[in-house]
Chains A and B, each alone.
Chain A
Amino acid sequence: MIYLQVLANGVVLGGLYAAIAVGFSLVWGVLNVINMLHGSFIVLGAYVAFFAYGLFGLHPFLAAPIAGAILFAIGFSLQSTVINRVIRAPVLMTLTLTFGLDLLLNNAMLQAFKADYRKVVLDPPLGSMFFGPIVLPLDRVAVMALALLLTYGLYRLLRDSKMGRAIISVRMDREAAALMGVDVMRMQAITFGIGAFMAGAAGSLLSIIYPISPLNSITFLGKAFVVCVIGGLGSVGGAIVGGIALGLIESFAALWFGPEYTVPLSFALLVTFLAVRPTGLLGRRGYE
């Protein structure tokens, strides 16, 4: 019986992880940039939700698109001004650059908001759902559902909209896309912006579950990494598969070994996947 509960926990957790990772996966897969700011973007989105709730009583679920929009603007500008200049540079440069930018952003947040952990406490609280023997906290399920909805939205955007097709074409072949008339620079900035949007919106949704602090950004980033490597890069499906896989593995690992082992386990998993199957479960070849 307990396995069913752990399974359910794992799936719900997985949905959250997918939401955390999908923006990161998109940027890495399309732009070949590892956005070390991703975790901080999520935290920033959470702060937007926190202040929106505290000052205006706006529900975090409603604040999500707003947080997303703000982060989109930040991401778009960062990409077009700074990151674009190193987009063709060796891996070392782009990684170091985004790392430096993250230091800046993270420190700025620490200055502005302090390190104290905040939380959005909903009033009235959402309570729990009961599926037979399984207990599911409603807030997590709601966040997971909305996060998956958001992810689905991204999927449709990439598949059906003109902009989405342009983004995918840049992913496949940058030069060919340019020859076809795609404004590659603009698409790159938009892609980065969308990645930031997803992070901000996810952060807003997650604000009711996880404590909010700049100190958490590295945790989110770490999860995003693992999800992408497990699931495969640059595709929404990869993020979902990877997220759910990680959620399940962590839930069962917590049951069998103890919760303190989940972090080292996820990193061991990361290294194992990288060693054995770097393209992830879905096998989409990321850039090297």
Chain B
Amino acid sequence: MRTAIILVIGAALFAALLLLGSNYAIRFATIFAMYATLALSWNFIGGLAGYPSFATAAFFGLGSYASAILQSSGIPMLMAWPIGGLFTAVFAAVIGLAILHLKGHYFAIASLALVEFLRELVNINDQLTGGGMGLNLPVAHAGVTQQALFFLAAMLAVTIVTLLAAVVVSRRKIGFALRCIQQNEDAAIMLGVNARWYKAAAFTLSALFPGVAGGIYASWVHYIDPSDVFDILLSVKPLVMVLLGGLGTLFGPVIGAAVFLVLEEAVWRSFLTVHAAVLGLLIVALVLFLPNGLMAIGRRRRRASQA
């Protein structure tokens, strides 16, 4: 019930923001949609399955480049995005075979290394990817506001699909299986859970949507380079957003993304140079004082009052 209220208020605010019509508001909303997608996607592997993945940036970057390269070969944008996403998903499924049997720290490091590895690989293969010089994407022939709205719609569409996927997963066998795996993987296996398969599915889901979002991002900004789209912060921020909203919850990632981005905007305006430091401070405070996220606050109070 509480979540529904929060979401209705959020949606109303969102609509109001858009009605303002300013390009700034549209831009902010687009970024929100993008991060909400990343956070929701991360939640599949990090929140539900409990595997601390830092690979989100790897998938985002891969999707960006795949889509950009496809487009420079003449494939239209609207086809390049899903193909890029699928490519990223397949990549995740394959890599998952190599690293999903790792636990804890080892898995985290492997996923982190993936980001660095892909970035350097893209840097080196400059024939294909433009290397450090980056890649330019075709600019559409349409008005600025029209374009802005178009990309917002695209990002939002992906966010909604991701959210739907999250809802479906949470209600069905796969969500249940992932929760079992997260709480006691060995016991789950002995109970008949095919952990390998479910983890791979979660990992693939955590790659598919960021892959598509990356493609949309590339078209939106018209220019990408390796350190831009393979930025480790694209792995860390969604993670922090989910922690903020509530690990493993359904709407936590969305709420966390909203709160985080609003905070970031406020901070960024006032503390331009120490932006990273403030982010660091936020992360530290979050881990120390609010490890269960915002959604847990009301729950704890309610349980305490019932006791």
Task: Point out residues on A near B: beta carbons under 8 Å.
Answer: 28, 32, 34, 82, 85-86, 89-93, 95-97, 99-108, 110-111, 222, 225, 229, 260-261, 263-264, 267-268, 270-271, 274-275, 278, 286-288
Contact = CB atoms under 8 A, between A and B. Distances in A.
Nearest to A102: B280
Interface stretch (B76-84, B85-93, B96-104): B96-104
Contact of B109 (A32, A104, A261, A274): A274
A267 B283 contact: no
B181 to A, nearest CB: 14
Contact residues on B (Cβ < 8 Å of other chain), bracket: 35 or more
Contacts of A103: 276-277, 279-280, 283
A245 B114 CA distance: 21
Given A85-B288, A102-B280, A103-B283, A287 B104 contact: yes
Tell me the interface secondary structure of chain B in the complex: helix
A107 B287 contact: no
Given A34-B109, A95-B108, A264-B117, A271 B277 contact: no
A263 B283 contact: no
Contacts of A90: 50, 52, 104
Given A92-B52, A104-B277, A225 B282 contact: no
Given A86-B288, A274-B102, 12 more contacts: A34-B105, A82-B288, A90-B104, A96-B243, A99-B236, A99-B280, A106-B276, A107-B275, A111-B274, A225-B109, A263-B116, A268-B117
Contacts of A271: 98-99, 110, 113-114, 117
Contacts of B98: 271, 275
B124 interface: yes
Nearest to A103: B280
Contact of B105 (A86, A270, A287): A287
27 contacts: A82-B284, A82-B288, A90-B52, A91-B108, A95-B105, A96-B239, A100-B283, A100-B287, A103-B277, A104-B277, A104-B284, A105-B280, A107-B276, A222-B116, A263-B116, A270-B109, A270-B110, A271-B98, A271-B99, A271-B114, A271-B117, A274-B102, A274-B113, A275-B98, A275-B101, A287-B104, A287-B105
